[in-house]
Chains A and B, each alone.
Chain A
Amino acid sequence: MFFANQFGKYRAIVISVAMFIFLDTGVLGLNFYISSQIAADAVNVNLAGRQRMLSQKSVKALLEYRYERQQGQSGRAAYEEMAGAIQLFDRTLLAFKAGGETLDTTGQPIYLPAVETPKAISAVDQSLTIWEPIRTDFNALNKGGGDMEQLLNRLVSSAESHNLTLLKLMNDLTNDLEAVAKEKSETLRLIQASAITLAILNFFLILFHFIGQLRQSDSIAETARKETTEILQTVREGLLLLDNNLIIGTQHSESVRAIFGDQEFAGMSFRSLLHNLVVGRDMSTTEEYIKLLLNEKVKENLIGSLNPLTDVEVSLPAENGGYSVKHLSFRFNRTIEDGHISHILVTVMDVTETIALRKALDEAQQSNGLQLDALKNLVHLDTRTLADFLRETDIALHEINDTLKDEAADPQGYNAKLQNCFRIMHRIKGDAGALQLPQVVQEAHQFEEQLQSLQKMSGLQGSDFLPLTLALDAFLRLISDLQEVSDILKQVQPASSAPASSVSEPEATPAMPLPLAPQLALLDREPITQLAERIAEEQSKEVNVIFDTDDDLALPDQQRSLVQSSVIQLVRNAVVHGIELPEIRVLADKSPVGRILVRVRQQEDGLRISVRDDGHGLDLDAIREQAHSNGLYDQAELESFSRTRLMGLIFHPGFSTADNVDEHAGRGVGMDLVRSNVNKLKGRIRIGTQAKHHCEISFLIPVAASMPSEEVDVMNTQSDAEARV
């Protein structure tokens, strides 16, 4: 298991090599051991042979010594030669017998092991029996004293009589030692031959094993190659790999040819491929982008949006010989090898059809007066909310149409008509903004601009209203289109739990708080929050809308719609006019995030709905100035106004303190609309404000009896000035 884990696919080769090394080492060890034994045996054979020579040499020297003595000479040299030969023979013979030291042929001491074979032991033992008396006589001679002549003669006689026997015995010893050495040599040869055979076997084993493995892996590689080729031939995208010099690799999908024409891509630079397709700065940007992808420090996920070639319009050779305009989209991805970026995978897609489809869709949407964004938002809206809005807008637009049709007798009449149209249109715009229907907001804004330009004209005539009716027709068509979409959405989205509202609901009835089911919650919070955040973002402000409402409270549809519309205007007003820029708020020791509190409370006398912001409060001087410049009142009148009456002016038609007219502010219609709505609800408005601190506008909807709403009365508190309008 360990082996398998450690070496994986290389296990077989590791085992084979290990076996080879083991075998080789074993054979080498044996070889060395036996060779050393053979070497020792050779010395033995050599020394045994020397014994033969020494036996003859000692007899010869002995005879020479006796002759020279008989001639009266000292015979010293012969004696020394004889003594040397006898002593060396004796020492060597004893070593053969029991193991011991002697001198080798060079005179160096050498250890001889005792002979072990029976033949050799017998030869040595017999030799020693014969040799024993000779050694004794020699020792006595060497010692001196006694009858030397007799001793010498006996020694000569003994040596002569045993000479041949001794020679034969030493010959036997030599032959036996030679036979042993020969046997060992043969063993060594056998071992070597076996080892070589095993090594050859091992080699073939490895060879066949690896040929098998190679065939297997070749087959796998071939299958993989075929599969890759199949994928590359089938895939619709153009796929190619770039190295870090932006050179195209050898493999690419067949679609690359379909896209770029039939040519050799391998080894070509990416720059050449894009030649004539991407030019100038785009090309260098693309190269820079790819280099970023090759930079391991840069995160691939975080630069995807910078891809410069997401849509490239190119003219490519067509099948019929001409050129066709195509749209190509390139995608670049890293390929990772061993934890490092090895290549960049380029995916090229022909998105011509997608682009054409998108264009057609855009055109279709534009011709229908619907933007993709609007459609997208419609899908996310509650179908009931959308249907309510569209129904009321349709009614409102027809109301404008009716107003425009009425012949006015005098300029005041025309101005009143314009003001009425303004108010209605402003409400539509506010509601559409809250529902994120930009197309409707845009249409309403343009209509308001047309109304305003009419207001500035003097001597208005009925014909001056003609462009308005045309614009109104377009607006009605847009609403009708949206209604069609809304009807489709109704079928697609799960049915709302709320029952369909009645279009023919009579004039506002007193508010009747109802349980939540089956009615919708009193306020639809999400569009209010979204509107506030969107306006805040556009004005570089930060705002947090907080709702404090009782979820059990509900109202009939028409009242609910009026309350929702009023709250939208009040929240819009709070963001635009109340909440300060973050830097200004910080200077005033406030949180940079403005806070708008929308609260609905049930009281004994009805429902109180309030919108309170922690902005700079109402600026009475600005209101006074604006009222004067609008020509509503002259300076003297304004000076005489109480604080509360001044505040009440913000509900006057056409009153606005905003510096510029934009989508959100400036026409002075929003608060007028709130007043109109509250009137329909038979309610009362109250304003509370403290300079630099807050502004709270609330309205009370009576539970039962209607109350006169045109009355204005005033009450003051210690910190706030309040006005009921």
Chain B
Amino acid sequence: MKRLMIVDDSMVIRRRISRAHGLDAYEVVGTAEDGANAIELARETLPDMITIDLTMPNMDGTEAIPVLASICPNARILVVSALSDKATAIGALASGAHGFLCKPFTDEELKSALNELAED
């Protein structure tokens, strides 16, 4: 069972991910609504997988990802964001994320993205 942390300022998206069908192999160990809370939560829960939005209040995903990657060096980080700015998304991935899933997404897309990251 992989430990999954969900970071998104939208409750709808957080709930959407945590309730997506077919994610039986993942246990949601926590959800955070911004980067700062995500870092705090990651220290407590040490997740294996993280889904993170880029645009969030307080601390956005781009800032949080390198910190999360240093706290949980083995965690696989999936950026889940709307594709409004490719450069920002690429920058976020370069700072330590491992994959990108574009909003909106289907359960199947989410599942295959997480599974692909979890393969390693």
Binding site for B on A (CB under 8 A): 281, 285, 288-289, 291-292, 297-299, 301-303, 305-308, 540, 542, 582-583, 592
Contact = CB atoms under 8 A, between A and B. Distances in A.
28 contacts: A281-B87, A285-B87, A285-B90, A288-B87, A288-B94, A289-B86, A289-B90, A298-B93, A298-B98, A299-B99, A301-B99, A302-B98, A302-B99, A302-B100, A302-B101, A302-B116, A303-B93, A303-B100, A305-B100, A305-B102, A306-B83, A306-B86, A308-B87, A540-B12, A582-B12, A582-B15, A583-B11, A592-B15
A291 B93 CA distance: 10
A74 B87 CA distance: 123
Interface string B14-50: 0100000000000000000000000000000000000
Nearest to A540: B12
Interface string B76-112: 0010000100110111011001111110000000000
Given A285-B90, A288-B94, A297-B98, A302 B15 contact: no
A186 to B, nearest CB: 72
A297 B96 CA distance: 9
Contacts of A308: 86-87, 90
Contacts of B99: 298-299, 301-303
A613 to B, nearest CB: 19
Contacts of B113: 302
A302 B117 contact: yes
B12 to A, nearest CB: 5
A56 B91 CA distance: 108
Given A289-B90, A308-B90, A542-B15, A299 B117 contact: yes
A292 B90 contact: yes
Nearest to B112: A301
Interface residues of B, number: 23
Nearest to A281: B87
Q: Which of B10, B12, B83 has the most CB of A within 10 A?
A: B12
Given A302-B116, A306-B100, A291 B94 contact: yes
Contacts of B120: 297
B12 A306 contact: no
A594 to B, nearest CB: 13
Given A302-B116, A308-B90, 8 more contacts: A285-B86, A299-B99, A302-B99, A302-B113, A306-B90, A306-B93, A308-B87, A540-B10
A308 B93 CA distance: 14
Contact of A288 (B12, B90, B98): B90
Contact of A292 (B94, B101, B117): B94
A298 B102 CA distance: 16
Nearest to B102: A305
B101 A582 contact: no
A299 B113 CA distance: 9
Contacts of A301: 99, 116
Nearest to B16: A542
A302 B10 CA distance: 22
Interface in B44-82: 78
A291 B97 CA distance: 13
Nearest to A301: B116
A300 to B, nearest CB: 9
Nearest to A305: B102
Contacts of B101: 302
Contacts of A307: 86
A448 B90 CA distance: 44
Given A292-B90, A305-B100, A299 B12 contact: no
A285 B89 CA distance: 10
Q: Which of A298, A542, A582, A592 has the most CB of B within 10 A?
A: A298
Q: Which of B15, B87, B97, B120 has the most CB of A within 10 A?
A: B87
A306 B116 contact: no
Nearest to B93: A292
Contact of B98 (A285, A299, A305, A582): A299
B9 to A, nearest CB: 12
A542 B113 CA distance: 24
Q: Which of A288, A306, A308 has the most CB of B within 10 A?
A: A306
Contacts of A288: 87, 90-91, 94
Contacts of B86: 285, 289, 306-308
- Shortest 8 CB-CB distances between A and B: which pairs? A302-B99, A285-B87, A299-B99, A288-B90, A308-B86, A305-B102, A306-B86, A289-B90
B98 A542 contact: no
A583 to B, nearest CB: 6
Contacts of A285: 86-87, 90
Contacts of A292: 90, 93-94
A33 to B, nearest CB: 62
A303 B89 CA distance: 9
A288 B97 CA distance: 13
Contacts of A291: 94
Contacts of A305: 83, 100, 102
A305 B89 CA distance: 10
Contacts of A299: 98-99, 116-117
A542 B78 CA distance: 24
A291 B11 CA distance: 33
A92 B110 CA distance: 100
A582 B15 CA distance: 10
Q: Which of B10, B11, B120 has the most CB of A within 10 A?
A: B11
Contacts of B98: 297-299, 302
B75 to A, nearest CB: 11
B56 to A, nearest CB: 16
A155 B23 CA distance: 119
A244 to B, nearest CB: 15
Nearest to A592: B15
B8 to A, nearest CB: 13
Q: Which of B90, B91, B94, B97 has the most CB of A within 10 A?
A: B90
Q: Which of A302, A307, A542 has the most CB of B within 10 A?
A: A302
A64 B113 CA distance: 116
A39 B36 CA distance: 91
Contacts of B89: 306
A332 to B, nearest CB: 12
Given A281-B87, A302-B101, A308-B86, A542 B12 contact: yes
A285 B94 CA distance: 10
Contacts of A540: 10, 12
Nearest to A536: B12
A624 B38 CA distance: 46
A301 B101 CA distance: 10
A289 B12 CA distance: 30
A639 to B, nearest CB: 40
B50 to A, nearest CB: 14
Nearest to B117: A299
